[in-house]
């Protein structure tokens, strides 16, 4: 039993003397609450949702202990129920077990040690059942999340598949080459969306289950990796891409983190920065500033693209949330980013203005 | 029939193209207006005036970002009855979720539900049902 927190026990008896005696005997062992009538007892139960054990006398003028427990078990199912009585009629014992669903039957006059043992056992039983019901609630929530997940996945996978299949028929019968090219371009976009979606789901699961794999991070290598990775995007989209790296901890301790998770974050932020550009802007740019200082790396990914509309700012990190139809997206990217940042004990901040651009700042401590 | 305007509201560009082409083939003389942003489609309908409008048939997708099909219908419901009298809404989706489908079918402003992939036959059947508009 937890020594710091006494178990709450509610004792019910119509004889005032018994209440006083019970309190005197157990006030050092338990947190004792008492009531002299079933109605008072109900009131106590309503005001204390953490009562673990109820001990009630069988013979009371208003109703029997069994009748009282019958009511209690539907209104307050959690506490463990015990019955005391001076009479040993077998009928009331059977009723108590069948109707009142009692845990223990205690004969009067009670023996202090018996009560202590009974309450300790009740405590174990109570803890196990409340743990079980907590697990059950968690399971139910997980199931509901899975349900929502399955619903969205079905839609987001099925939608583009159906459309692309239909478009294939269309493109086969289309004689105009320009229209054919247009349909093919849209088909490619749909397939790209599918690919992104599946990739993001795999990231999601990797984040959800994966333990952290910590290794020293070579920032120079990281810079080179991203210069390479986005060089095509940069050239094709005519977007200037610049990475700045500054390390004030050079010569100090190495920076340790989970590289895969960091890359999930940076990939998503950079993909978005390149994706949400304004076509009409002649001077498009994406910038990544990496600053390592005092065992922390602060990475800013900024662009001068479309920005995020103000109404969407509160929701951008939510699963499946999308703020635009202009570009295909899974509604998963920033959700994964947020998840990965928290797995790395980091923080993320965003500043954005529509038609001006966005800056995402992540701060990650070394592990 | 000739004066009916078709309004498409769907965030999927490929679906817009597919359905628009079917409509143009089925009803070459009617005008088709496509919105990939449901808020703009809604705004268009909200700006209509009963006195000088043609009858409209709206084909509305369910799953869309920012404002989904059901949110669209909630806002649509508040449009003046005289305007709504000249608009028929058809809902469409690739959803296999029964709750979605029955929610669409039971909405008082929805005349028919079409499941994707949409066929020309399904469009012409649905338009025939709602097409007896003045």
The percentage of chain B sitting over the pLDDT mark of 90, rounded to a whole number, equals 64
CA–centroid distance for A331 within its chain: 18
Using a CB-CB distance cutoff of 8 angstroms, which residues of chain B are in contact with residue A321? Answer: 65
Check whether A311 has a pLDDT greater than 80.
Answer: yes
Residue A366 near residue A257 (C-beta atoms within 8 A): yes
| B97–chain A nearest CA distance, Å | 7
Q: How far apart are CA A250 and CA B12, in angstroms?
A: 49
Which residues lie closer than 8 Å to A154 by C-beta, 6 or more apart?
Answer: B95, B96, B97
Q: What are the strands, taking DSSP E only, across A13-168?
A: 31-35, 53-57, 80-85, 104-107
CA proximity to A305, closest of A271, A355, A350, A360: A355
Of B14, B64, B95, the CB nearest to A163: B14
Nearest CA in chain B to A315: B66
pLDDT class for A252, splitting at 50, 70, 90?
low
Enumerate the H helices of chain B as residue ranges. 13-26, 38-46, 69-77, 81-84, 98-106, 120-130
Q: How far apart are CA A75 and CA A62, in angstroms?
A: 19
At residue A229, φ and ψ (nearest 5 deg) are: -60, -40
- CB contact under 8 Å between A154 and B96, yes or no, is yes
Using a CB-CB distance cutoff of 8 angstroms, which residues of chain A are in contact with residue B123? Answer: none
Residue B78 near residue B46 (C-beta atoms within 8 A): no
| A316–chain B nearest CA distance, Å | 11
pLDDT class for A328, splitting at 50, 70, 90?
low
- CB contact under 8 Å between A186 and B66, yes or no, is no
**Token pair for residue A353?**
């203005």
Residues A45-66: tens digit of each pLDDT: 999 988 999 999 988 898 988 8
- CB contact under 8 Å between B14 and A186, yes or no, is yes
- CB contact under 8 Å between A162 and B63, yes or no, is no
- CB contact under 8 Å between A324 and B36, yes or no, is no
Nearest CA in chain A to B117: A162
Q: How far apart are CA A56 and CA A13, in angstroms?
A: 6
Give the angle A187-A191-A196 at the CA atoms, nearest 5°. Answer: 150
Tell me the mean pLDDT in the region A335-348.
92
Using a CB-CB distance cutoff of 8 angstroms, which residues of chain A are in contact with residue B37? Answer: 325
Q: How far apart are CA A230 and CA A288, in angstroms?
A: 12
pLDDT class for A257, splitting at 50, 70, 90?
very high
Q: What pLDDT score does A2 carry? A: 47
Identify the residue whose tokens are 């692309």.
A164
Q: Is A45 strand, coil or helix?
A: helix
pTM: 0.60
pLDDT class for B132, splitting at 50, 70, 90?
low
Residue B22 near residue B10 (C-beta atoms within 8 A): no
Nearest CA in chain B to A171: B18
| B50–chain A nearest CA distance, Å | 30
Using a CB-CB distance cutoff of 8 angstroms, which residues of chain B are in contact with residue A324? Answer: 65-66
Alpha-carbon distances, residue A169 vs A162, A193, B8, B13, B130 (angstroms): 11, 20, 21, 17, 28
> What is the per-residue burial (b if ≥16 Cβ within 10 Å, else e) of A98-129?
eebebbbbbeeebeeeebeebbeebbeebeee
CA proximity to A69, closest of B39, A60, A278: A60
Exposed/middle/buried for A259, CB within 10 Å: 0-12, 13-18, 19+?
A: middle
Tell me the mean pLDDT in the region A27-34.
93
pLDDT class for B86, splitting at 50, 70, 90?
very high
Using a CB-CB distance cutoff of 8 angstroms, which residues of chain B are in contact with residue A166? Answer: 18, 117
Using a CB-CB distance cutoff of 8 angstroms, which residues of chain B are in contact with residue A155? Answer: 63, 94-95, 97
Nearest CA in chain A to B15: A163
Dihedral of CA A57/A61/A62/A67: which sign? Answer: positive
Using a CB-CB distance cutoff of 8 angstroms, which residues of chain A are in contact with residue B61? Answer: none
**Token pair for residue B102?**
């029955």
């Amino acid at each position: 039993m937890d020594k710091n927190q006494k178990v709450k026990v509610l004792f019910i008896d119509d004889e005032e003397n018994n209440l006083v005696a019970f309190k005197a005997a157990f006030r050092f062992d338990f947190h004792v609450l008492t009531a002299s009538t079933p109605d008072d007892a109900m009131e106590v139960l309503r005001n204390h949702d953490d009562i673990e054990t109820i001990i009630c006398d069988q013979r009371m003028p208003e109703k029997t202990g069994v009748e009282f427990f019958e009511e209690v078990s539907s209104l307050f199912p959690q506490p463990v129920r015990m019955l005391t009585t001076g009479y040993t009629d077998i009928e009331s014992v059977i009723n108590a077990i069948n109707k009142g669903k009692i845990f223990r039957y205690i004969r009067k006059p009670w023996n202090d040690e018996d009560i202590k043992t009974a309450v300790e056992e009740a405590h174990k039983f109570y803890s196990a059942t409340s743990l079980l019901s907590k697990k059950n609630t968690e399971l139910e929530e997980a199931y509901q999340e899975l349900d929502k997940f399955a619903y969205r996945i079905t839609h987001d996978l099925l939608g583009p598949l159906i459309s692309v299949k239909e478009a294939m028929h269309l493109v086969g019968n289309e004689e105009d080459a320009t229209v054919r090219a247009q349909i093919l371009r849209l088909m490619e976009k749909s397939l790209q969306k599918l690919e992104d979606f599946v990739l993001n789901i795999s990231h999601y699961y990797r984040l959800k289950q994966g333990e952290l794999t910590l290794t020293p991070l070579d920032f120079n290598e990281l810079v080179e990796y991203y210069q390479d990775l986005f060089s095509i995007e940069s050239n094709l989209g005519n977007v200037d891409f610049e990475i700045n790296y500054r390390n004030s901890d050079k010569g100090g301790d190495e920076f340790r983190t989970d590289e895969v998770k960091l890359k999930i974050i940076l990939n998503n932020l950079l993909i978005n920065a390149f994706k949400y550009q304004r076509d009409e802007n002649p001077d498009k740019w994406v910038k990544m500033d990496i600053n390592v200082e005092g065992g922390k790396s602060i990475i800013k990914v900024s662009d001068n693209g479309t920005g995020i509309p103000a109404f969407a700012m509160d929701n951008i990190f939510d699963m499946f949330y999308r703020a635009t139809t202009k570009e295909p997206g899974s509604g998963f990217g920033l959700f994964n980013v947020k998840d990965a940042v928290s797995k790395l004990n980091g923080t993320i901040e965003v500043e954005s203005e529509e038609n001006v651009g966005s800056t995402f700042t992540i701060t990650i401590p070394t592990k | 029939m000739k004066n009916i305007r078709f309004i498409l509201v769907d965030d999927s560009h490929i679906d817009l193209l597919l359905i628009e082409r079917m409509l143009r083939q089925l009803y070459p003389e009617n005008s088709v207006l496509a919105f990939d942003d449901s808020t703009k489609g809604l705004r268009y309908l909200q700006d209509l005036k009963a006195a000088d409008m043609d009858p409209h048939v709206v084909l509305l997708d369910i799953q869309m970002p920012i404002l989904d099909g059901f949110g669209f219908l909630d806002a649509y419901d508040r449009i003046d009855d005289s305007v709504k009298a000249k608009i028929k809404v058809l809902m469409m989706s690739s959803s296999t979720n029964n709750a979605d489908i029955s929610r669409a079918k039971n909405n008082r402003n929805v005349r028919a539900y079409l499941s994707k992939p949409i066929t020309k036959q399904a469009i012409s059947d649905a338009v025939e049902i709602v097409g007896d508009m003045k």
